[in-house]
């Protein structure tokens, strides 16, 4: 289990409400939190302001995505940064018997991701690449694509369009601008989608996209 540090302790009640009760999984989340704190000092991986509330802002915010597609086993996370949501999903997939691919362009962040995957036993592979250079590799072999704080919705859909057309769903966490991002995206895309209220922020939504169709030639 994670040692006690400024991030506090895991909120077992919220994790339990998400169906996450495995002591081993929660211990692995704790290792992630400890390593994030350790690396953050030198590598500046995430915004410092999020660290005091790291369990809610990073761990639980990420883990909630798993509960939205619990049967999916082949995941892809774009712009993985400091590991949210990709590493937490990889920890959950280690127990569920699945795998996640993490695409991240920044070498320093990729080094952290590889380290923390080793430390936690997350079922995940890091690709130090730009999304636009490698997204084609994941067409037809992906059940769910995720991306948090990477780009506006229209850009995320444009990047992942072939993955979505090949049968994947998308889970894109979004903040207060979600409605305007949807309006912008709907100029080019007709989407079967729903907005799910975030378990960590009542103003935030997870956009779950089941299918897309181009509206412009």
Ligand X SMILES: C[S@@+](CC[C@H](N)C(=O)[O-])C[C@H]1O[C@@H](n2cnc3c(N)ncnc32)[C@H](O)[C@@H]1O
Q: Which spans of this chain sit near ligand X (rule: CB under 6 A)? A: 46, 79-82, 84, 103-106, 109, 130-132, 148-150
Q: Which helix (H) or strand (E) holds 207?
A: strand 205-214
Q: What minimum distance in Å lies between the beta carbon of 98 and ligand X?
A: 19
Q: Are 181 and 153 in contact (CB under 8 A)?
A: yes
Q: Label residue 113 exposed, middle or buried (CB < 10 Å: 0-12, 13-18, 19+).
A: buried
Nearer CB in complex with ligand X: 115/211: 115
Q: Is 181 annotated as a binding residue?
A: no
Nearer CB in complex with ligand X: 45/209: 45
Q: What minimum distance in Å lies between the beta carbon of 109 and ligand X?
A: 5
Question: Cα–Cα distance between 116 and 121 in angstroms, integer?
Answer: 8
Nearer CB in complex with ligand X: 81/90: 81
Q: Is 148 annotated as a binding residue?
A: yes
Nearer CB in complex with ligand X: 38/130: 130
Q: Is 132 annotated as a binding residue?
A: yes
Question: Cα–Cα distance between 31 and 12 in angstroms, integer?
Answer: 16
Q: What minimum distance in Å lies between the beta carbon of 143 and ligand X?
A: 19
Q: Is 108 annotated as a binding residue?
A: no
Q: What minimum distance in Å lies between the beta carbon of 79 and ligand X?
A: 3
Question: Cα–Cα distance between 194 and 55 in angstroms, integer?
Answer: 26
- In sequence order, the β-bridge partners of residue 184 are none
Cis previous bond, 85, omega within 30: yes
The Cβ of residue 195 has, within 10 Å, a number of other Cβ atoms equal to 14
List, as residue ranges, the binding site.
Answer: 79, 131-132, 148
List, as residue ranges, the binding site for S-adenosyl-L-methionine.
Answer: 79, 131-132, 148
């Amino acid at each position: 289990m994670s040692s006690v540090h400024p991030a506090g302790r895991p909120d077992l009640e919220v994790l339990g409400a998400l169906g996450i009760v495995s002591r081993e999984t929660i211990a692995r989340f704790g290792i992630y939190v400890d390593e994030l704190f350790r690396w953050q000092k030198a590598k500046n991986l995430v915004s410092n302001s999020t660290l005091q509330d790291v369990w809610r802002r990073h761990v639980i915010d990420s883990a909630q995505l798993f509960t939205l597609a619990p049967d999916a086993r082949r995941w892809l996370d774009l712009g993985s940064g400091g590991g949210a949501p990709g590493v937490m999903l990889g920890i959950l997939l280690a127990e569920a018997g699945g795998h996640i691919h993490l695409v991240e362009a920044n070498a320093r962040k990729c080094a952290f991701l590889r380290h923390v995957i080793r430390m936690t036993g997350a079922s995940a592979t890091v690709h130090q690449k730009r999304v636009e250079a490698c997204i084609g590799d994941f067409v037809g072999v992906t059940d769910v694509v995720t991306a948090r704080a990477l780009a506006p919705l229209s850009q995320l859909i444009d990047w992942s369009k072939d993955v979505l057309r090949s049968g994947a769903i998308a889970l894109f966490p979004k903040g207060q601008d979600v409605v305007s991002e949807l309006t912008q995206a709907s100029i080019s895309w007709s989407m079967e989608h729903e907005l799910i209220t975030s378990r960590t922020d009542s103003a935030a939504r997870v956009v779950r996209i089941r299918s897309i169709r181009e509206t412009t030639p």
